[in-house]
Amino acid sequence: MGSVKASCRLSAGLLLLASVAATTPVLSATPAASVAAARSSGNQSPAPLTIAGLYADHSIIGTSPEHYAWSADGARLAFTWNDHATTFRDIWVYDTASDVKRQVTHLDDAKDGHNTAKTPAPDPGVTQLAWLPDGRIAFVTDGMVRVTDMQGHVSVLEAAHHGVRLLSSSPDGRWLAFVSDGSLWLRDMKASMPANIMVTGSADFSVDRMEWSPTSDRIAFVMADNRAVHTVEIDYTLDGQNHHDHVTRAFPGDPNTGFPVGLVDVAGGPPRWMARDNEQDPVWNFGLSPDGRSLFVNASDLTIKHHAIDVYDVSTGHRQRFYQFADHTQIRPDWQAAWAPRGRGLVLLTNRYGYNQLYHIPTAGARPHQITGRAGKQGTWEIESFVPDPIHGRLYFTSNEAGYAQRQVYRIGLDGGIPERITQTHGTHEPVFSPRFDHMADRFSNDTTPPDLYVTALDANTPPSIRVTHSPLPSFDTRTWADVRYMDYRSHVDNALLTMRVMLPPDYDASRRYPLIVGSVYSDAVRDQWGGRTAHPTWGLDQYLVSRGYIVINPGIRGSFGRGKAWNRPMLGKYGVLDIDDLQDGAQFMINQGYADPARIGIWGSSYGGLMTLMSLFTKPGFYAAGVAGAPASNVAHAYPEQEWIMGPPSGRDFPARYQRQSALYHTDGLRDPLMIIHGTRDEVVLYADTMAMAQRMIAQDRMFELVTLPGANHPWDTENLPQTRFAYTRLVRFLDFYLHPAAAVSPAQ
| Structural domain includes residue 390 | yes
Rounded Cα distance between 578 and 52, Å, is 37
Question: Quick one: pLDDT at residue 376?
Answer: 52
Task: Tell me phi and psi for residue 618, to 5 degrees.
Answer: -75, -35
Residue 229: alpha-carbon gap to chain centroid: 25
Residue numbers in the chain where pLDDT is lower than 70: 1-43, 112-120, 375-379, 460, 462-463, 745-746
| Structural domain includes residue 228 | no
| Structural domain includes residue 567 | no
| Structural domain includes residue 549 | no
| Structural domain includes residue 727 | no
Assess contact for 508 and 30: CB atoms under 8 A: no
Question: Quick one: pLDDT at residue 441?
Answer: 98
231-238 and 218-225: which strand pairing?
A: unpaired
Rounded Cα distance between 12 and 249, Å, is 11
Rounded Cα distance between 182 and 199, Å, is 9
Assess contact for 498 and 489: CB atoms under 8 A: yes
Q: Residue 656: is the preceding peptide bond cis (ω within 30°)?
A: yes
| Structural domain includes residue 691 | no
| Structural domain includes residue 345 | yes
Rounded Cα distance between 433 and 439, Å, is 6
Question: Quick one: pLDDT at residue 29?
Answer: 35
Question: Quick one: pLDDT at residue 5?
Answer: 43
Alpha helices in 622-715 (DSSP H): 644-647, 657-661, 688-700
What's the maximum distance between 2 C-alpha atoms anywhere in the chain?
75
Question: Quick one: pLDDT at residue 37?
Answer: 40
Assess contact for 330 and 343: CB atoms under 8 A: no
How many structural domains comprise the chain?
Answer: 1
pTM of the model: 0.92
The one-letter amino acid at 720: E
What domain range includes position 404?
Answer: 63-115+123-201+272-474
CATH code at position 390: 2.140.10.30
Three-state DSSP class for 62? coil
* Nearest by Cα to 674 from 607, 728, 634, 614: 614
| Structural domain includes residue 462 | yes
